[in-house]
Amino acid sequence: MSNPILMAVTRGALIESVHRGAIAVAAPDGRILASLGDVAALTYPRSAIKMMQALPLVTSGAADAFGVSEAELALACASHGGEPFHIAAVEGWLSRIGASERDLLCGPHPPSHEPSARTLYAAGGHPRRIHNNCSGKHTGFLTLARHLKVSDYKPNIA
């Protein structure tokens, strides 16, 4: 089944690009109430659902309990470039919840912000977990775990 065109981007009278997709409206019990396109197709939304992954952080009361700022909530909802202000924000947030970079289970990778990566390497540094574009999302998960009093899990990762 070919998915329908859901959006057309125009430039003046010219159609520049079209975007196909599928839409499903589901009841709380999972029944599909309405659909358009191939809603059974396997998809890998990856970063597109970070906002949904951050919902429990807010709806549980964890964000309020730990004073999560708007900037920190933005880091939980999006990928970051590993710029110094991103790193400082995640480090401060981790510290405030009694955690550290060692608690992050996301792997290290260089900052995706090229000037920050160049600066890191020029200073003799190396990529760390906190540079991972998902470190804010993972810090949100740790905040939720602290709030729910989930027993601490200390990964055995150097």
Are 51 and 18 in a shared domain?
no
Answer whether residue 93 is part of any domain.
yes
How many domains are there within the chain? 2
Domain that holds residue 19: 5-36
Answer whether residue 135 is part of any domain.
yes
Are 30 and 79 in a shared domain?
no
- 31 is written with which tokens? 């029944």
Answer whether residue 158 is part of any domain.
no
Are 61 and 137 in a shared domain?
yes
Are 70 and 9 in a shared domain?
no
Answer whether residue 59 is part of any domain.
yes
Are 15 and 92 in a shared domain?
no
CB crowding 126-136: b at 16 or more within 10 Å, else e:
ebbbbbbbbbb
pLDDT for 44 equals 84
Concatenated DSSP letters for 44-63? --GGGGHHHHHHHHHHTSHH
Check if the beta carbon of residue 65 is closer than 8 Å to that of residue 147: yes
pLDDT for 155 equals 53
158 residues of the chain, pLDDT tens digit each: 689 999 999 999 999 999 999 999 999 999 999 999 999 998 888 778 888 999 999 999 999 999 999 999 999 999 999 999 999 999 999 999 999 999 998 999 999 999 999 999 999 999 999 999 999 999 999 999 999 998 755 555 44
pLDDT for 154 equals 56
Answer whether residue 73 is part of any domain.
yes
pTM: 0.76
Are 57 and 131 in a shared domain?
yes
What lies within 8 Å, CB to CB, of 34 at 6+ separation is: 23, 24, 25
Check if the beta carbon of residue 57 is closer than 8 Å to that of residue 76: yes
Answer whether residue 101 is part of any domain.
yes
